[in-house]
Amino acid sequence: MFTECLLTFDDGPHPTSTSLILDILAEAKVSAVFFIVGARLKSSICRSLARRAVAAGHVLGNHTFSHPKLVGKQLSEVRQELQRTHDLICECAGSCVVFRPPYGAMDQGVTDIATEMGYKILNWNVDSLDWKLRADGEWVEHAITELGGLGKEVVLMHDIHISTAYDLPNLLTHLMADPTRKIANAAMWSDFLKLMNLPAANCGVSKTARNEASFGEFTLSD
């Protein structure tokens, strides 16, 4: 029995690091889900990267327009965050049906809005901490310790950090050398919605505490 591993990247596209990551994934012949921050698609370079990702077989997901913590927001604000990004992604990909809330934070209101808009919510259960552990190879070592033979693993990474791009080949080498694990085709992301037998809206609770402080401050200049 294989443990299937779905690769996911949040917060991009980034003109430099996302481009490198796409090169690395192409060379390894694997695909990933990229959760897009809509404000980044104001850039023509980033729109081109989004289209390039789709053409290469990757999946684009909605990660809101400005990356706010949605819990506690007015429902109209939540809907606007999703809709603005939805429209921009659809210009690049034609459609968008998977959503990841910033920081993994959601409540019933967020879940209801996403569901009404036709989205499935996919979080993660392997937190690489690549945003924090940027020393040479450190985040990969941590990610490997988080891999637990869970049957289906969703790995959280961020394509806005150059250190993630530089060390990604090491993670791929580890995953591809493990005879008990295989990297899933990103198109099969919906197979991961029942992680750990939890409802889809709550899937992907990380071993690492899932709160805003643990992710550091998000800026569109990263």
Strand duo 98-99 + 3-10: pairing: unpaired
- 216 touches 67 (CB < 8 A): no
Residue 199 has pLDDT above 70, yes or no: no
State the Cα angle at 211 between 67 and 74, rounded to 5°. 50
Please indicate whether residue 203 or residue 107 has the higher confidence score (pLDDT): 107
161 is catalytic: no
Among residues of the chain, what percentage have pLDDT more than 70?
86
pLDDT-derived band at 194, boundaries 50, 70, 90 = confident
| CATH number attached to the domain at 3-215 | 3.20.20.370
> Residue 160: which of 25, 23, 36 has the closest Cα?
36
Residue 146's CB: how many other CB atoms inside 10 A? 19
Total residue length of the chain:
222
> 3-class DSSP state for residue 213?
helix
| Per-residue confidence (pLDDT) for residue 167, from 0 to 100 | 98
| Per-residue confidence (pLDDT) for residue 197, from 0 to 100 | 39
Cis peptide before 102 (omega within 30 of 0): no
pLDDT-derived band at 148, boundaries 50, 70, 90 = confident
Residue 128 has pLDDT above 60, yes or no: yes
> Residue 207: which of 118, 130, 146, 154 has the closest Cα?
146
Catalytic entry in 10, 11, 127, 159: 10
Catalytic entry in 14, 86, 158, 161: 158
Residues 6+ apart with CB under 8 A from 44: none
| Per-residue confidence (pLDDT) for residue 151, from 0 to 100 | 82
Distance CA 152, CA 159 (A): 22
Sign, Cα dihedral of 38, 41, 46, 49: positive
Residue 178's CB: how many other CB atoms inside 10 A? 16
Residue 198 has pLDDT above 80, yes or no: no
| Per-residue confidence (pLDDT) for residue 208, from 0 to 100 | 40
59: tokens are 């999946």
Comparing 62-71, 72-81, 128-137, 202-211, the range with the smallest average pLDDT is: 202-211
Give the tens place of pLDDT for each residue, 65-83.
Answer: 999 999 999 999 999 999 9
**Over residues 50-78, mean pLDDT:** 98
Give the tens place of pLDDT for each residue, 153-181.
Answer: 999 999 999 999 999 999 999 999 999 99
Prediction pTM value: 0.91
Q: In the chain, where are the structural domains located? A: 3-215
Distance CA 218, CA 75 (A): 22
Average pLDDT, the chain: 89
158 is catalytic: yes
Distance CA 164, CA 157 (A): 7
Distance CA 196, CA 54 (A): 29
Residue 150 has pLDDT above 70, yes or no: no
> Residue 64: which of 94, 93, 95, 35 has the closest Cα?
35
